[in-house]
Structure 1
């Protein structure tokens, strides 16, 4: 029996990018069985564009912008309730190559005897200039189970976390591990969610499934130049460090990365007071507030 796939795409005020994203999704050699667009209260005519240009696509219009985290929370919840076997998650700046979904589904058919064990499958992500975008974290310490050994033989690489830039998440994983934490708003919500799932479940990178992350430049929160947005990076990293999604060794690594990014952000912004204020607020809110 063929696996039923629902593509879940979250968008906000980028209707031209969304149009390109949808065209790529609907032109797949193995198209998804259903497409759900979650519109985060866009004001640029996104909803009207989807209704007119893509009448076959389901549109979920949110009353307010809940960020990527809130969008995926609502989208995954709705798609899961419809009973699809796999949810294909992506942002609106994800442009899937024509065989992306076909290749992403191959481990499911080849390793059909282990289908209940696989929780996440991730595409290889490239920047516009075709250089690799390291959005998925490999898992060199993955247990050498029969499934893992066979998957590696076939060219599928074990992962510890992945981004919401073309991943398949199984219905069983959503049922067991729940939904993303919508209060993250932006940044690190995908790391927390996939790390939570893959702490027990199995996930693989499928190198032949390729998507383009169509951003104008190699975006980095540290050099974004916006202290108000870097606040989310700091707060959410603190939340991630407090969560049960990471192992102790991983928490140590992420702590060092956070310290490094804070220092680089301060230097980039010439240590202006607003930068200090947003970092301090991020740390305080991360410690004393909860993402639940």
Structure 2
């Protein structure tokens, strides 16, 4: 198949960030290789996102842009699940996943698909994630290697990886992940009950049974996110990250002993670390996040936890 004949769909999940979403859609419409469809999954935005998008892209609305508005905020995990599910009703070759803060370089998809022609065995590709600007530093956390299949421990990509033309790795975030429709048919949709965090890890573990992931270093996507500061402020998202990791380990970890005791060890380490001076003022809240995450992860109790946020 020639590069110009590739038909792809972009799934974008959004919540209360209409300005960023408009910028993200503009970047998609300006691609040198245009998307067949852009599916927006709106997690119950209350800032007028729907009207803003409808007004700004009136010509493309309902033609190129499919807009799905959720009656409840079901979390990013459900957004990817239902957005991808909506995409599957169309005839296409590839699908891309991203949040509303991912701004693709103008030739991102042309480069990905041109490169894929020389790697027909691979069904999943990503590009290089930069922070906040086209010349921003690389955000290494989006591309990870699985170091230990028993504990599912992993490490981030490093500068040395990006000095090559490409590198092959195991776990991607949903920032610029591009995969074949065939792969989605093989592995299904992201786990919607996760709500947020580690849904990408679980999805990639399924993916690894069929394909590795290749990062094409010359394809760029800007991740417009707030940089972390020296101040330590626990976030409710940590509850979901810990809970979901425990669920993943118990589902995919091959060693039942490790599956039981490794999460407990991590919990005890977290509790001990909470008494460091940097967590002063947040200790009780952080303990609540991780103890609740541990209990719910062990019990397999997923979905949104209204007691956390």
When normalised by structure 1's length, the TM-score is 0.83
Structure 2 CA distance for aligned equivalents of residues 72 and 138 of structure 1? 23
* Contact 1:181/1:291 (8 A) holds in 2: no
Structure 2 CA distance for aligned equivalents of residues 21 and 265 of structure 1? 38
Q: Which has the larger radius of gyration?
A: 2
* Contact 2:41/2:70 (8 A) holds in 1: yes
The counterpart of 1:167, out of the listed 177, 181, 192, is: 177
Q: Which sections of structure 1, spanning at least 5 residues, go unmatched?
A: 142-153
* Contact 1:137/1:160 (8 A) holds in 2: yes
The counterpart of 2:138, out of the listed 132, 139, 146, is: 132
Shift of 1:200: 3.1
Given the alignment of the two structures, is residue 49 of structure 1 paired with residue 52 of structure 2, yes or no?
Answer: yes
Shift of 1:128: 2.2
In structure 2, the CA distance between the partners of 1:235 and 1:4, relative to structure 1 (3 Å rule), is: same
Structure 2 CA distance for aligned equivalents of residues 275 and 92 of structure 1? 28
5 Å matches for 1:63-142? 63-111=71-119, 114=120, 117-128=121-132, 130-134=136-140, 135-138=142-145
How many residues are paired up?
270
Partner of 1:145: none
SS in 2 for 1:158: strand
In structure 2, the CA distance between the partners of 1:26 and 1:218, relative to structure 1 (3 Å rule), is: farther
Pick the structure with more helix per residue: 1
The counterpart of 1:286, out of the listed 270, 294, 297, is: 297
Q: What do residues 87-133 of structure 1 show as CA deviations (whole Å, max 9, x unaligned)?
A: 1111100011111111121222233xx2xx32210111011261111
* Contact 1:223/1:265 (8 A) holds in 2: no
When normalised by structure 2's length, the TM-score is 0.79
SS in 2 for 1:243: helix
Given the alignment of the two structures, is residue 225 of structure 1 paired with residue 234 of structure 2, yes or no?
Answer: yes
Structure 1 CA distance for aligned equivalents of residues 115 and 147 of structure 2? 19
Provide the alpha-carbon RMSD of the alignment. Answer: 2.8
In structure 2, the CA distance between the partners of 1:265 and 1:81, relative to structure 1 (3 Å rule), is: farther
Structure 1 CA distance for aligned equivalents of residues 211 and 53 of structure 2? 35
The counterpart of 1:21, out of the listed 16, 21, 24, is: 24
In structure 2, the CA distance between the partners of 1:200 and 1:265, relative to structure 1 (3 Å rule), is: farther
Structure 2 CA distance for aligned equivalents of residues 199 and 219 of structure 1? 37
Shift of 1:204: 0.5
Partner of 2:307: none
Partner of 2:165: 155
